[in-house]
Amino acid sequence: MRSCQLLYLVMVVGLLVGGGVLGFMGLSRSGTSAAAGAPGRSGPDVSQTSGLLAESGTAPPVTGSPGSGQVFDTYWIVLGVATVASITIAVGAGWWLKQQATGQWASRADDDAAMARVQQGFLQRAVVRAAAVEGPGLAGAAFAYSTGNGLLLLATAASAVTTAALFPTRGRMDRWIEEVTGAVGLPEPGEEGQGNG
């Protein structure tokens, strides 16, 4: 249980720190690019150059840039699809793992070994859910870095909050055991007798 909880903490911290760093780098790069193209700055006019090339037939016209609304709309659509996919994976995998655990418990030959497998199923579900929820957050951080749009980091923040909300606790494991076996949550192997210390 503690190793799974540590994994959750690492994922939340990784999302927050990684997203913050990538977002800051993207915003800094976007600000630098805007300053370089400001009036009075030296350097080629990209839009003018691309327009001349398009007129001469040597290059297609540029209709969007990393800062255009069209590109941002595309990134938001991708994030929406990734979010739906992650929810589907988390719910579907959780349901499948519960069915597996229920079947193993029903066909058990030894209660202790079967209970250990039921507890392992809970931990497996917790890891799968965390990994699925982390996906849109990482995508949001990468898109924020690519475009310089800090609003895309909302996906990263939402993933971090959701991961924290799904944090595996002993109470949740006991509810999982009760749902799978109909029994009261039992202590993990090696924890017997620790409550009297």
For 192, the 3-state DSSP assignment is coil
The dihedral through the CA atoms of 10, 16, 22, 25 has a sign that is: negative
In the chain, the amino acid numbered 95 is W
Asked if residue 196 belongs to a domain, the reply is no
pLDDT at 106 over 50: yes
Asked if residue 195 belongs to a domain, the reply is no
As a whole number of angstroms, the distance between CA 129 and CA 87 comes to: 8
- Of residues 126 and 47, the one with the higher pLDDT is 126
Share of the chain above pLDDT 70, in %: 70
172 is in which domain, residue-wise? 2-29+69-187
Asked if residue 35 belongs to a domain, the reply is no
Half-sphere exposure of 106 (CA within 13 A, CB side): 8
pLDDT at 159 over 50: yes
pLDDT at 57 over 80: no
Q: What pLDDT score does 96 carry?
A: 93
pLDDT at 35 over 70: no
Question: With a threshold of 0.85, does the pTM exceed it?
Answer: no
In the chain, the amino acid numbered 115 is M
pLDDT at 66 over 70: no
Lowest-confidence range among 24-28, 45-49, 178-182? Answer: 45-49
Asked if residue 97 belongs to a domain, the reply is yes
Q: What pLDDT score does 112 carry?
A: 87
For the ranges 3-7, 169-173, 188-192, the maximum mean pLDDT occurs at 169-173
Ranges of H-type helices in 57-185: 69-106, 111-147, 153-165, 170-181
Asked if residue 90 belongs to a domain, the reply is yes
Q: Tell me what the mean pLDDT of segment 24-39 comes to.
A: 62
Asked if residue 153 belongs to a domain, the reply is yes
Which residue in 171, 194, 184 sits closest to 115, CA to CA?
Answer: 184
Q: Tell me what the mean pLDDT of segment 107-129 comes to.
A: 89
Asked if residue 34 belongs to a domain, the reply is no
Count of structural domains within the chain: 1
pLDDT at 19 over 90: no
Asked if residue 129 belongs to a domain, the reply is yes
Confidence label for 148 from pLDDT (cuts 50, 70 and 90): confident
